[in-house]
Amino acid sequence: MAGTHHFSLTRLALATLCAVAVNTQAADAVYREAFPRVAIDPSRGVAGGGDADFGATLQYWQDDQALEKSKPWIGNPEHEWKLNWKFMDLDHTDDMHPGYLALEQGEKLFKFWAKREPAFRTCLGEGKTDFKGLAAGYPKYDPKLKKIMTVESRVEHCAKTALWEDFKQGSPANNQISLYFKSLSTNMPIKVDTSSTEIMDSYRRGEKLFYTKVGQYNFSCASCHTTTGLLGQRFRGQVPTSPFADAAHFPTYRVGLGDIESLQQRFMRCNLQARTKGLPPGDPAYTDLEVFYTVLSNDYPVSVPSAR
């Protein structure tokens, strides 16, 4: 009797396992196409932007010297795209642009709340009260929260827990405080921790999203941002540029919008332009994409406030 009982339990367990396996297979079986993949070595960071698959443009914008040499191309429709818009990183100058107004606003907001609730400061700094250089390590895995945190999700989290306020990602308050937090790492090289398993798992998911075709146009990010696709080609009035070092200048002042915009808001706008459902900033898919993008900016300095 006992033997039979044992046997039936084993069968039940096997049957359950099979059912789970079939379900997983069904979920994975959703038909998707991928744009041809390029081998990216994440340990190279922004240096990968020198590869032909991404237009080999790094040489023209990698530092101030290179930019200075490439300056004559500004405004030239044939060559301007090779500068990857880095001449719009106006953090180098004393010249005013609206990005500075947002930064000022962010500093005011932060100081107001940090004075009222000192816990807001310690939460943002994870115990540290001096924020210098901290933003350069984002996105990062937070073992206490068991989550990948971006600067924006940290601001949202700390507003919730220390202030009982809703600074949702993509809101003006969140963007302004995030911009202020990032500005305290300006000119410091981005160092996303690629030795972290959680970060690399997220990177791989983000990389997969980068190549997966979605939307009515059946476009992937790579359709526009690799040379197999539209990178360096005229695309209506624009020329798509390299994804390398893009994460460095967000949140950025968008001239066409008249407002600052986070990287994930940019993803949302990009998706909509390619006739794909836009996801809310903070969505796990966008967080993975941000991790991928920021690893492609590793070793490149944080460059805020900027304008695009």
Partner 1 sequence: MRSIFGKGLTVAPLLLAVALAGCAAEPGKPTQAAKAKPSDFSEWPCMSYTLACGKIPTRKPVTQALVGPLNGDPVRGQALANERSKGNCVACHLLKGAEQPGSKGPDLTAYGTWGRSDAEIYALVYDMRSRNPDTVMPPAGANQILTDQELRDVIAFLQSSK
Which chain residues interact with partner 1 by CB under 8 A? 27, 30-33, 35-36, 64, 67-68, 71, 74-75, 87-88, 90, 92-95, 97, 209, 212-219, 223, 228-230, 233-237, 255-256, 271-272, 275-279, 283-286, 289, 307
Q: Give the end-to-end CA distance of the chain in Å, rounded to a whole number.
A: 75
Q: How far apart are CA 93 and CA 235, in angstroms?
A: 31
In DSSP notation, 46-86 reads GGGGGSGGGTT-HHHHSSHHHHHHHGGGTT-TTTGGGGTTG
Q: How far apart are CA 220 and CA 229, in angstroms?
A: 10
Q: How far apart are CA 162 and CA 11, in angstroms?
A: 52
Q: Which CB, 181 or 267, lies closer to partner 1? A: 267
Shortest CB 186 distance to partner 1, Å: 12
Q: Which CB, 33 or 126, lies closer to partner 1? A: 33
Q: What residues contact 28, with CB distance under 8 A and at least 6 apart?
A: none
Do 169 and 156 meet the contact criterion of CB atoms below 8 Å apart?
A: yes
Q: Which CB, 93 or 197, lies closer to partner 1? A: 93
Enumerate the H helices of 184-262 as residue ranges.
197-211, 221-225
Shortest CB 36 distance to partner 1, Å: 5
Q: Which CB, 172 or 215, lies closer to partner 1? A: 215
Shortest CB 168 distance to partner 1, Å: 18
Shortest CB 110 distance to partner 1, Å: 26
Q: Which two tokens stand for residue 237?
A: 């009035």
Do 192 and 295 meet the contact criterion of CB atoms below 8 Å apart?
A: yes
Q: Which CB, 122 or 212, lies closer to partner 1? A: 212
Shortest CB 216 distance to partner 1, Å: 5
Shortest CB 74 distance to partner 1, Å: 7
Q: Which CB, 75 or 143, lies closer to partner 1? A: 75
133: left (phi over 0), alpha (psi -120 to 50) or beta: left
**CA angle in degrees (0–180, nearest 5) for 85-91-97:** 85
Shortest CB 282 distance to partner 1, Å: 12
